[in-house]
Amino acid sequence: MQALVDVIKTFARPDQILLNEPMSRHTTFRVGGPADVFFLPETGGQVARALEAARQRGVEAHVIGNGSNLIVRDGGVRGLVICLGEGMSAIAREGNTVTAQAGATLAKVAAFAQAEGLSGLEFASGIPGTLGGGCAMNAGAYGGQLSDCLIDAEVLLDGQTRWMAVDQLGMGYRTSLPLRQGGVVLSARFELKEDDPAAILVRMKELNARRRDKQPLNYPSAGSTFKRPEGHFAGALIEGAGLKGRRVGGAQVSEKHAGFIVNAGGATASDVLALIRVVQDAVLARDGVRLETEVRVIGE
């Protein structure tokens, strides 16, 4: 692992590299053991070089944003974690187009658009993820999704960086070609519409009020835990199975919205994953529906 660190130091500052970094500091669930090497890149080139250095040395590598859709197991992550964050979070406007780097949070991109009098990203203002992960997952809420206004994205795939138009990205419900093929979204461009900033802000506040009213935002979580099964709503199935409030250790099915598993205090990743299995088994037994997780799980 030291050989990998030495290579990264040839193109990045020492303060961009953290060793044995607790992943509980970098997930919204606030769980997870340490990463062997935690790297905070500031350019797409640094991302590409770090991934290539890991590949050449047979070291497993993971790319994350702010950990809002991620569970890291308690044993931590052997290998390299590349975190796209503040160092890659620039946002700019040209006409009605907003360009943002992968590390910018969707909330900040939406707030930037609102301040510029550009409409189309209001739905994203309460989504806790970053733009890179949001594009890879085609994040959405309240009837909107990023593919609705996405022009193209800069994608690192198979060691090559290219701009891909939205119709090349294979975007569907919580999926995209980069996600399926192990690519990394480095930045993206959105085509928005001019509107009164005050009117945009009103719509954003209304959506965020609905979110606060329905979702357990006062507890650490990874957002909605399960994908929406065809013809059903995950929360309704879980509530119907009588699982609201069910706990395993510090993990709990939210009493406010059964589609959320939360860290009610002192939860471990093992608690969370065990509770996910309890929910999946109960819903399958009662309704014959296999709930698929929306969250990504890494580590050992």
Cα angle 225, 227, 229; round to 5: 135
Where does 218-298 sit in CATH, by number?
3.90.78.10
pTM: 0.94
| Catalytic, out of 174, 187, 189, 254 | 174
Is 176 one of the annotated active-site residues of the chain? no
Domain ranges in the chain are 2-83, 89-200, 218-298
pLDDT at 174: 86
Confirm or reject CATH 1.20.1270.360 for domain 89-200, answering yes or no: no
Query: What separation in angstroms does the CA of 129 have from each of 1, 106, 132, 140, 287?
Result: 29, 6, 8, 11, 31
**Do 2-83 and 89-200 have matching folds?**
no
pLDDT at 102: 98
Three-class SS state of 143: coil
| Catalytic, out of 73, 224, 246, 254 | 224
User: What are the phi and psi torsion angles at 190 (to 5°)?
Assistant: -125, 140
- CA 230, 233, 234, 240 torsion-angle sign: negative
Alpha carbons within 13 angstroms on the beta-carbon side of residue 60 total 10
Confirm or reject CATH 3.40.50.880 for domain 2-83, answering yes or no: no
Is 42 one of the annotated active-site residues of the chain? no
CB 30 within 8 A of CB 257: no
Is 239 one of the annotated active-site residues of the chain? no
- Mean pLDDT, the chain cut into blocks of 10 residues (300 residues total): 96 98 97 98 98 97 95 98 97 98 98 98 94 94 94 96 96 92 97 98 96 93 92 96 98 97 98 98 97 94
